[in-house]
Every structure is written in structure tokens, then in C-alpha cells.
Amino acid sequence: MELKKRTMPKELQIFNSLAPRLELTSRDKQTHHSIKKGYEGELMFDQILDNQLQREHLIIKDLLLNYDSNTFQIDTLIIFPSIIEFFEVKNFEGEHHYDKKRDKFYKNTDFEIQNPEHQMSRAETLLRKLLNQHGYQVGLRGTVVFINPEFTLYNYTPDKPFVLPTQINPLMRKLNQIPSRKITNQHKSIGNKLLSLHEKDYPVKKVPEYTFRELKKGINCYHCNSLSISLRGHYCYCSECGGKELVKSAVLRSVQDFKLLFQKEKVTKAKIHEWCGGMVTEQRIMRILAQNFQMFSKNRWAYYEPKTTSK
């Protein structure tokens, strides 16, 4: 049973929104690329688990936890009746070297990167302490999964908690051989406790600074993210990729992007009109906002917030 789905990391959402609107430095482009790649790797692993895991389990996809002022992230956590398995997923590509003597990890032969085992061990220690703090004494095992089929690791020693791309199917077989017992309320209580501790509003750190004024305005393409959009009737058309989208849904997406990038700003028809590059009339924006949002204050400074759903 899935206790928590994976959603696109906020940092990646922000980068995606900024990419067509701001001249990113090469360093920012690199960060954007690596966050995107990491997320794609996690989705690949999710798909394998969703298709192949047969044993009764509870799964939590993406957890951000804190123990004693130390924040740590867990990509995938699976509660089996007899053990908690968690996975750090790495979407590294190309040749990598492990230097056993120095316990160091290199891309190619000379570019040192953080040894993923260290990251995983840190998470394991903190997670164990966190579980103990809440009264749970359970078996815990962390594994680093290298998900990319084009990843190679030289000098790999099998005593490491690594799963290489060719070992993913054997990993699934191993997980499916875990003695079958029932998930009990105790397991559910561990899962729900971890979910309650998940830090939803952790501040994003790696994104560049930006202001409303400096960002390029316009509607971005739903498919290719470019701002090469023109309007005809009810549709937006992209001259880059030929994509087509209803104006209404493009405006609503633009509002979401605006809210993501400017959390403290109020959504007004004038602001969204400007944000969409002046392509959609204020009147049309107002209609779309009125249909989908709740309006506050009725004068010309009216602003809109998501409708609160009544039960």
C-alpha cells in the first residue's frame, strides 16, 4: 500500500518555471539538470517497485525528516512486516570509480563526488535514532540504487550496500523473498508517524534569486516550456513544438507558476495579465479566475485565492 506518492520537488518546479524566463548561469543550469535527473531516476525506481513488488508492504516515496536539527532525505522507504528497507536512488551516468583505500567516489577517474554510501549511512543513523525516539525498535537497512542503465562502477566490492543497474532485478527477487507476514497496526503506526514528521514546507535553497520585473513574461508551452506561444480562439499554439492547449488551462497553469514563484504576492487580474505577457485580455483572465478561484474584496483591487472546498 502506498502511504505517500512522489511529487515533483519544489526546487525543480521553480527551476522549470524560471528556465524560459530568466537567463540562468551555467551553474544554475547544471543544478537544474541534476535535480531533474535525480527526480527522473526516482520515478524510474518507483515504476520498477510498482510493477514488481509482490510482498505485502507500506511504501513512502520521498521523505524529508529531521532528527536533532539534522535534516535528511529518504528517496524511498518500504515497511515490510519484518524490516524497513530504504533506498537512496542515484541516476548517475557513465564511468565511475570507487577508491576503496580512501573510501572515495569519482566520476570518470578524477572528479571526486560525494560518496553516496556516506549520505545513505548518515540517513540510516538518523532514521534509526528518530525511530527509537518514538519508541520503535525495528530492523532497518539502507541501499544505494544506481538506476541508470549506462552507469558503470569500477573497483566495486560486493560488501558495499550498492545495487548496480544489472542487480536491480535480483534486488526485486530478494525483496519478494522476504518472509511473508501481514502488515499490522504497528507497521501502520510507524508509517503514519514518519508521514506526520515529513517536513512539507522545507525552504528551497538551490534556486537563483529573481524578481517579478526581471522575468520574461508570457505563457509557457505545456509541452516544451518555451514562451513561443500565440493565441487563436480558445487555444494557445506553440511555434517551437506545435503544442496546443486550451487558453483557460494555460492561464490556470500560469497562475500556478506565478503563485509558486511569488508566494507572498496576491493574484490579481492585472498581475496575471502582465505575467501572461499581455496576450490574454484582463476581462478573459477575470472570467477564468472567477470560475476557478475565490474572489476577495470586490473593488478594482480584487484578488483571488484557491477555493476552499466545503465538505
Q: Please report, as ranges, the residues that interact with Zn ion according to CB under 5 A.
A: 221, 223-224, 238, 240-241, 243
**Shortest reach from residue 127's CB to Zn ion, in Å:** 42
**Shortest reach from residue 25's CB to Zn ion, in Å:** 24
**Shortest reach from residue 250's CB to Zn ion, in Å:** 11
**Shortest reach from residue 14's CB to Zn ion, in Å:** 20
Strand partners, 296: 303
Using CA atoms, how far apart are residues 36 and 17, in angstroms rounded to an integer? 13
**Shortest reach from residue 228's CB to Zn ion, in Å:** 7
**Shortest reach from residue 223's CB to Zn ion, in Å:** 5
DSSP H or E run through 84: strand 84-90
Q: Give the pairing of strands 58-67 and 2-4.
A: parallel
Cβ nearer to Zn ion, comparing 207 with 238: 238
Cβ nearer to Zn ion, comparing 139 with 242: 242
Question: Cell numbers of 160, please?
Answer: 558495499
- Check if the beta carbon of residue 124 is closer than 8 Å to that of residue 165: no
- Check if the beta carbon of residue 261 is closer than 8 Å to that of residue 18: yes
- Check if the beta carbon of residue 7 is closer than 8 Å to that of residue 61: no
Closest CA to 51 of 169, 131, 137: 169
**C-beta atoms surrounding 250 within 10 Å:** 23
Q: Which residues contact 60 (CB under 8 A, 6 or more apart)?
A: 3, 4, 74, 76, 77, 78, 79, 191, 194, 195
**Shortest reach from residue 159's CB to Zn ion, in Å:** 49
Closest CA to 89 of 47, 127, 130: 47
Cβ nearer to Zn ion, comparing 238 with 288: 238
**Shortest reach from residue 233's CB to Zn ion, in Å:** 18
Burial label for 198, CB within 10 Å (0-12, 13-18, 19+), is middle
DSSP H or E run through 269: helix 269-275
Using CA atoms, how far apart are residues 47 and 192, in angstroms rounded to an integer? 23
Using CA atoms, how far apart are residues 221 and 233, in angstroms rounded to an integer? 17
